[in-house]
Amino acid sequence: SKMTVKAVKMPCTAPNVYTKVPDGGWGWTIAFAFFFVEALTYGIIKSFGVFFNDLMESFDETNSRISWIISICVFVQTFTAPLSTVLSNRFGHRFVVMAGGVLISTGMVTASFARNVVDMYVTIGVISGLGYCLSFLPTVTILSQYFDKRRSLVTAVASTGECFAVFSFAPAITALKEQIGWRYSLLSVGVLQLSIVICGSLLRPIIIKEQEEVKAQPPEEPTETKYMLENEQTRTSIESIDSGVEITTSPSNVPGKTKAEPKSEEPKEHVQILVDNNSTPPEPKTKLLDFSVMRDYSFICYAFFGLFATLGFFAPSLYIIPLSLSLGIGKDHSAYILSAMAIAEVFGRISAGWVLNKKPIRKIYIELICVVLLSVALFAFPFASEFWGLMTCSIFFGFMLGTVAGTHIPLLAEDDVVGIAKMSSAAGVYVFIQSLAGLAGPPLAGVLVDTTQNYSSAFYSCAAGMVLGAVFLSLVRPCKAGLCHHQQQCAEESAAEVVPDLPDDFIEMDIGKAENSGKGCDGV
């Protein structure tokens, strides 16, 4: 039977307890924090292209070797995703995000004193890369837990922080470099990223009350608690000295509102108990990392989609400015192209969130359409030969990138993939699989550029990866539908094999009744 629990006032650092997913509440504060976390993580990564030419001149290195800085950063960020999941489940999202903010700032500030490109590999690639993982993934995970019906829209809007960062940081850093140089500009960025610690302090965990109920057998001789279980109409009262929590049966079972039940129905043999000895709800026991998602074929296909699609996420943002410079476009106009891409991405994210928020709609198919159009945008870049052509391609690419980048991780919470229950572990494994593409993508594009002496080859490699991603994404729904059909078929077969337990003398009793009935008829 359902229980009602008295609300307990808790300090601001304690978890938020709800009877169901709030679709708001403190979730709006989480969305606000996620906006700035996006801006100070992915926004900085995508704006790093403004430092490329400065680093090549200062360290006398090639495109491919400079590309390894962001490549290693993205690889570490995605490869350590399971570690982020484990730490979040063990120590909480707030602590992990705050620690990530410290690592990001430390790596970026130290990189401003780098003497060679190897120092940049360690500082930005490893130290800041680990911080990016610890900051981003727990924030987007806890945001998904606060919303249900509005999840797609809120996540998409909050993720626009990345776009606003690129729009504002690219011109600002370019202007700042002219005044104080690239080293002090990088130092300023590192100090700014320390504000992620403040964002992390706002992440209050959420507990849904129904998930805290534990089924337990009543003790034979309880000392502090009485259990009165006579039948389904009997009121159950629980008085606990330590907990201070009063539990009564639901209104449907309270005297005066009792409904007649068939006498043949047996009384319940268990009681649902919610224990609270410290005036705070106990935290449910969860696995630190659930690898059972790897047995789900739909998730495997979705993970391969993320693996190949990642090839097209970062390289265009890194190479759009070098491509524009190679076409004879000035530095200022090149920065404007990157900013226009960021603005278009804002509208893409909001549009995708608005569309996916509509009911009923199969969100996985909308995502597939966006991925196909994103592939077309990548193929269009090599055909641009002047400023306005490149601007048009950038705006189209930015819009389509926003529709995919802002939704591909939150879509893990949909039933077509794994569902909200396994969202945390699935996100860790999913981003971990992406790490291979994050490591290979930018250097592969850099090698192609150095070999062909043409920046268009970088965009072709990204487009090829996006096309492969679209193929695997198209298999997600068929795999999920096939798996569900198989499970339903197995359930029907197992149900057909179930034979009701009958007493040993069942047949004898019926035979005896039949004989007595026959004698009665003969006597008449």
**Domain 289-496 in the same topology as domain 13-210:** yes
> For the chain, first and last CA: distance in Å?
52
Q: Could you report the per-residue pLDDT of 359-383, keeping only the tens digit for each?
A: 667 778 888 898 999 999 888 888 8
| 3-state SS, residue 458 | helix
Mean pLDDT of the 253-271 span: 44
Q: Choose the most confident range, by mean pLDDT, from 61-70, 86-95, 407-416.
A: 86-95
pTM of the predicted structure, to 2 decimals: 0.60
Q: Choose the most confident range, by mean pLDDT, from 56-60, 128-132, 154-158, 317-321.
A: 128-132
Whole-angstrom Cα distance, residue 274 to residue 281? Answer: 8
Q: Could you report the per-residue pLDDT of 423-439, keeping only the tens digit for each?
A: 767 777 787 777 777 67
Q: Taking 60 as the threshold, does the pLDDT of residue 42 lie above it?
A: yes
Residue 149's pLDDT band, with cuts at 50, 70 and 90, is confident
Q: Taking 60 as the threshold, does the pLDDT of residue 523 lie above it?
A: no
Least confident of 70-79, 119-128, 162-171, 234-243: 234-243
318/501: higher pLDDT: 318
Place of tokens 């026991």: 285
Half-sphere exposure of 395 (CA within 13 A, CB side): 8
Residue 480's region, left for phi above 0, alpha for psi from -120 to 50, else beta, is alpha
- Rounded to the nearest integer, the mean pLDDT of the chain is 74
Q: Is the dihedral of CA 310, 346, 406, 369 positive or negative?
A: negative
Mean pLDDT of the 483-498 span: 55
Least confident of 156-170, 390-404, 484-498: 484-498
Q: Could you report the per-residue pLDDT of 200-214, keeping only the tens digit for each?
A: 998 888 777 764 445
Instruction: Check residue 290 and give its pLDDT.
Output: 66
Domain boundaries, the chain: 13-210, 289-496
Q: Could you report the per-residue pLDDT of 438-485, keeping only the tens digit for each?
A: 677 777 777 888 888 888 888 888 888 899 999 998 988 888 776 555
Instruction: Check residue 123 and give its pLDDT.
Output: 94
Q: Answer whether 83's CB lies under 8 Å from 288's CB.
A: no
Q: Taking 80 as the threshold, does the pLDDT of residue 282 lie above it?
A: no
Q: Dihedrals φ, ψ of 18, to 5°?
A: -130, 155
Instruction: Check residue 120 and give its pLDDT.
Output: 92
Instruction: Check residue 350 and give its pLDDT.
Output: 84
Helix, strand, coil shares of the chain as percentages rounded to 5?
70, 5, 30
Instruction: Check residue 255 and give its pLDDT.
Output: 44
Instruction: Check residue 454 and give its pLDDT.
Output: 81
Q: Which two tokens stand for residue 4?
A: 């009602």
Instruction: Check residue 448 and give its pLDDT.
Output: 83
Instruction: Check residue 382 and give its pLDDT.
Output: 85
Alpha carbon of 202 to those of 198, 330, 339, 440: distances in Å?
Answer: 7, 42, 29, 35
Q: Which of 284, 293, 282 is nearest to 81 (CA)?
A: 293
Mean pLDDT of the 241-262 span: 42
Instruction: Check residue 287 and give its pLDDT.
Output: 61
Q: Does domain 289-496 have CATH number 1.20.1250.20?
A: yes
Q: Answer whether 406's CB lies under 8 Å from 353's CB.
A: yes
Instruction: Check residue 212 and give its pLDDT.
Output: 46
Which residue type, as a one-letter code, is found at position 460? Y
Instruction: Check residue 19 and give its pLDDT.
Output: 66
Class of domain 13-210 (CATH, top level): mainly alpha
Instruction: Check residue 194 and give its pLDDT.
Output: 93
Q: Which of 212, 168, 156, 218 is nearest to 31 (CA)?
A: 156
Percent of the chain scored above 90 by pLDDT? 15
Q: Could you report the per-residue pLDDT of 202-251, keeping only the tens digit for each?
A: 888 877 776 444 555 555 554 444 444 444 444 444 343 343 334 443 44
